A and B are shown apart, each in its own frame.
Chain A
Amino acid sequence: GINRGIFGVQTPKKIAIEELIMELERLNPCPNPMENLPKLDGNWQLLYSTISILGSKRTKLGLRDFISLGDFTQTIDIAKMKAVNTIEFTVPAFSMFRGSLTITASYRITSPTHVDITYESSTIVPNQLMNLFEKNYDLLLGIFNPAGWLEITYLDESWRVGRDDKENIFLLEKLPSS
């Protein structure tokens, strides 16, 4: 419905969503997620976050009329202590041309609930999409860069809620392993 909140959510609705999330966090069945790493492993899909791309940023990235956002997925590999975030883009004008931005980051456990995240690399495929974003690549990375720390405030078989050092909230759903 609200496209993961990325293009602005009305304040009353935003408050309502965040209250629901806080209630969920109160019911957290897994208060020490770092001791339950297998639960974190695998593919996750972003349902909602407080990250927003509005105003001139949105215009500059062409996300207003030209480029559409697809799925946001995250693959966590606990063996390698890495997380790979993938953001899909489609360009309707070029007959639903598809591409994606992939950001690889590594994490380090700092407490039962916290991890420190370090940015490692990013790529855009295919080249044509890179051409579209080239001029504003830093802007794009600035929005989606996961570096900082992350606290996992809710974890169960299907859902995860995280909060980061920039006061963002993330709600993700576990995808069935393929």
Chain B
Amino acid sequence: MAHVFLARIKPLNIFCEVEQWRHIALSREEIRRIRELRATQSGRLCHSIHSRCGAMTSTAFCARGSDAGLGYQQRRAIDHRRSAKCWSRRRVVAEGATISFTADSGSPTSLSVNTSSPIPAGDATNSRFLNGVASYVQRRERREKLSLNEIIEPVSSDLDALNQNLQSIVGVQNPLLMSAAEQIFGAGGKRMRPAIVFLVSRATMQLARLNTIHLQHRRLAEITEMIHTASLIHDDVLDESDVRRGKETVHQLYGTRIAVLAGDFMFAQSSWYLANLDNLEVIKLISQVIKDFASGEIQQASSLFDSDITLDNYLDKSYYKTASLIAASTRSAAIFSGADPSVCDKMFDYGKYLGLAFQIVDDILDFTQSTAQLGKPAGSDLAKGNLTAPALFALDKEPELRKLIDSEFTDEGSLESAVQLVKRGGGIDRAMELAKQKAELAIQALECLPVGAARSSLEKMVEYVLERVF
């Protein structure tokens, strides 16, 4: 069966120069071939582009080369593309479903459907077709949830190298710390933060038309993961949790003392590596994060069970606890790529909004996931007095909720009632709205980046964060 895509093909030679939008139907076979071609981009590869703007049957892209090698059919196709009739249809088509699919990146897996702009009714055939394409694409999107592995695929080799390095950095000093390091660095971590660092590094290096990343980028990713892990170890001690990522927590296995020391060691080690990166702006950015972690925890602890906290208080606290690290690391990645200050600012914004959306979704999941999925009763944030976005929104609508919170849920069943009230008061929906707003801002911040695999992975990362709710 053919998958229908509307593809934007980057001009590679004079024959493709005018093409911006076309829809292409790719069969499975063709997708496989494109992936192969991507892997072996040598020599003159030429497939024919046949674009009858109505029903597409084959795919093609022209690699570097002259028209020697183009067959008769292919030349006909190119001529057709240049014709006036085709021009007008292409304009119509451009307003329909859009995807990023560049010839050098090859694999047509990123889809986004822009159906907000109405398709001109002028050309009835095209608009029918486009509507069909759009809805097909939407249906396909809904069926296939993004998997994180797909998203981080462009940087998977970077992440492998990171994993190896991390174990050796942490374990070197002390065998006890080595086992603690294995415990926490062992399989289980999603490595989302370093993946984002690598993606931003590659995307910003693309601005300078470079395909490699610096050693500093790699170090930055390692530092980010170390800081994140150190904070997790300490958080587990504070929360007295037994399980993290499916394994026993460090303090459960080795005791609180080792856990505190391991966390401290990692904070210290990451500060040392940070200093050696020799970039004052980056040092300031990342050091600020460690301070922000503490501020966020303190802010949270001093406002437990306080129904009067505002949404801004909540967003500040979420920023300090989660978004600060991501934002600082993405900005630093852009700095190391030598990007313009405006791009660095945008990358900071991306990290910040992604982090906020991530935290809000986490908070929603605390209410919506069942005990089986979470491994602990739903509403554990609420039970501890930590009022998150869903609860804050529901407090507006449900006065009963405030009373339950003030009582600290002393009575049996009061926590369950409170969770129900949060759901009934529309807390979940409004929180989801908030998360989507932040996600939208994150996507917008990516516009300064060149189109490519890295950028589309960053966009997909935002979708992935939102999709976790379902």
Contact = CB atoms under 8 A, between A and B. Distances in A.
Given A54-B406, A55-B405, A59-B385, A10 B304 contact: no
B54 to A, nearest CB: 65
Contacts of A59: 301-306, 385
Interface string B282-322: 00000000000000000001111111100000000000000
Among B305, B307, B407, B412, max chain A CB count under 10 A is at B305
A10 B410 contact: yes
Most central of A9, A55, A59, A64 by chain B CB within 10 Å: A55
B407 A55 contact: yes
B412 A10 contact: yes
A54 B307 CA distance: 12
Contacts of B408: 7-8, 54-55, 58
B299 to A, nearest CB: 12
A177 interface: no
A8 B405 contact: no
Nearest to B403: A55
Contacts of B29: none
Interface string A64-104: 11000000000000000000000000000000000000000
Nearest to A66: B301
A139 B392 CA distance: 24
B306 A55 contact: yes
B411 interface: yes
Nearest to A8: B410
Contact of A56 (B307, B410, B412): B307
B407 A54 contact: yes
Contacts of B410: 8-11, 54
The number of chain A residues touching the other chain, given as a range, is: 10 to 19
Interface string A1-29: 00000011111000000000000000000
Interface string A31-72: 000000000000000000000001110111000110000000
Nearest to B309: A56
A54 B305 contact: yes
B305 A58 contact: yes
A160 B285 CA distance: 62
Nearest to B303: A59
B301 A65 contact: yes
Given A10-B412, A59-B385, A64 B407 contact: no
Contacts of A7: 408
B466 to A, nearest CB: 32
A56 to B, nearest CB: 4
B305 to A, nearest CB: 4
A64 B308 CA distance: 18
B301 A56 contact: no
B407 A8 contact: yes
A55 B406 contact: yes
Interface in A114-143: none
A60 B307 CA distance: 13
Contact of B308 (A11, A56, A65): A56
Given A55-B307, A59-B302, A59-B304, 7 more contacts: A11-B410, A55-B385, A55-B405, A56-B406, A58-B305, A59-B301, A59-B305
17 contacts: A7-B408, A8-B407, A8-B408, A8-B410, A10-B410, A55-B406, A55-B408, A56-B304, A56-B307, A56-B308, A58-B305, A59-B301, A59-B302, A59-B304, A59-B305, A59-B385, A64-B304
Interface of A: 7-11, 54-56, 58-60, 64-65
What are the 9 A-B residue pairs with the smallest beta carbon separation, nearest first? A8-B410, A56-B306, A55-B406, A55-B305, A59-B304, A54-B408, A11-B411, A56-B305, A10-B411
